[in-house]
Structure 1
Amino acid sequence: MKVQPVALHHAPLLHHLYQATPSYFALLGSRVPSLQEVTRDIETALYDSRRHLELLYQGGEAVGSLDYKLNYPYAGDVTINLLLIRGDIQSRGLGERVVRDLEKRLPDSRRLLASVLGDNQRAVKFWERLGFTFATDARPVMTWYAKPLHCQPEPQPAALS
């Protein structure tokens, strides 16, 4: 899978991916964002050096997007705000591949978090299957799941002689 940072000219493509996954927005009780809203969100993301928006490609075709933020909420944390795989190709292991790839690209991070909006039991099962555990309850809006990364044993003090 190829990952490409989102640029402003990608707004129509990202909007198309959102339109191809209306069930996600319906689950949240919202409509698919308009092209203008997607454009504004990309503009906002481009001004935040910690936020990363990426397009996901397989075989040259855009299949999804990933939105995450470095050092949020704490230093060393990475929070996935949205992992979206186009509706017609979900449940084929693409989301897991994206998360595993992201984990490899985060060598200096200590914890990966995923925010789950609303009552999205399918998302909860997905994150739990990847080793995430419940971390924070911010219902009714969202819950957060977390997974430690690159765990190193705590250094032990030298023995006194």
Structure 2
Amino acid sequence: MNRTLSFTPLTLISAPLLHGLYQDTPGYFQLLGGHVPTLGEVERDIETAHHDRRRHLELLHDPQGRLVGSVDYKTDYPDPGDLTINLLLIREDQQGRGWGKVAARQLERRYAPSKRRVLASVLGDNPRGAHFWERLGYRFALDARPAMTWYAKELTPPASRRTNLLAGA
């Protein structure tokens, strides 16, 4: 099976798709103690995102074109050279199939030439989310509980390490 995902930028027209994804993943919103956003709330969030040139909302489709998830991330945030994943959401009936890992790895590869690290937020008390990022090589970076914790992964070695690696070659 082809283990790649297609990333499709979200537009206002695709708001019902994202809303449907949210409805198919109620456990995530229950974990946060909130409700599944309404279509109107989803539309407002997409509109807000389009006013921030650093923020990207994308739908994730499997090789057969089925919607399996979404990703919400920012480039050059909080610092230049950072990629911050605010939400990587996989539909509940698709969880445990490796799509989250595939999505994270594809983002890392896409941005590795221009970004130095990836930050990932884990909202609320979510040990499963923390474990997901840790398994992918992310390390605990910041405790901002009760709202969230942050995990980080360097994409490129620091300049001094690159120089030493080249010198030893």
Shared fold per TM-score greater than 0.5: yes
Report what 1:139 is aligned to: 145
Are 2:93 and 1:93 aligned?
no
Structure 1, residues 6-64: CA drift from partner, whole Å, max 9, x if none?
01101000000000000000000000000000000000001111000000001111110
| Residues in 2 aligned to 1:21 and 1:73: alpha-carbon distance in whole angstroms | 28
| Residues in 2 aligned to 1:111 and 1:140: alpha-carbon distance in whole angstroms | 24
Q: CA deviation at 1:89?
A: 1.0
Report what 2:46 is aligned to: 42
Report what 1:55 is aligned to: 59
Q: Secondary structure at the match of 2:115?
A: coil
| Residues in 2 aligned to 1:91 and 1:103: alpha-carbon distance in whole angstroms | 20
| Residues in 2 aligned to 1:136 and 1:72: alpha-carbon distance in whole angstroms | 15
| Residues in 2 aligned to 1:94 and 1:152: alpha-carbon distance in whole angstroms | 30
Report what 2:79 is aligned to: 74
Q: How many residues align?
A: 156
| Residues in 2 aligned to 1:48 and 1:143: alpha-carbon distance in whole angstroms | 23
Unaligned runs of 5+ in 2: 165-169
Q: CA deviation at 1:150?
A: 2.2
Unaligned runs of 5+ in 1: 157-161
| Residues in 2 aligned to 1:14 and 1:83: alpha-carbon distance in whole angstroms | 12
Report what 1:110 is aligned to: 116
Q: Secondary structure at the match of 2:89?
A: strand
Which of the residues 2, 22, 34 maps onto 1:30? 34
| Residues in 2 aligned to 1:115 and 1:9: alpha-carbon distance in whole angstroms | 27
Structure 1, residues 63-108: CA drift from partner, whole Å, max 9, x if none?
1000000011111111100000000110110000000000011021
Q: Secondary structure at the match of 1:105?
A: helix
Report what 2:167 is aligned to: none
Which of the residues 156, 161, 165 maps onto 1:150? 156
Task: Tell me the TM-score normalised to structure 2 length.
Answer: 0.90
Q: Which of the two has greater helix per residue?
A: 2
Q: CA RMSD in A?
A: 1.0
Are 2:20 and 1:16 aligned?
yes
Task: Tell me the TM-score normalised to structure 1 length.
Answer: 0.94
Q: Secondary structure at the match of 1:126?
A: helix
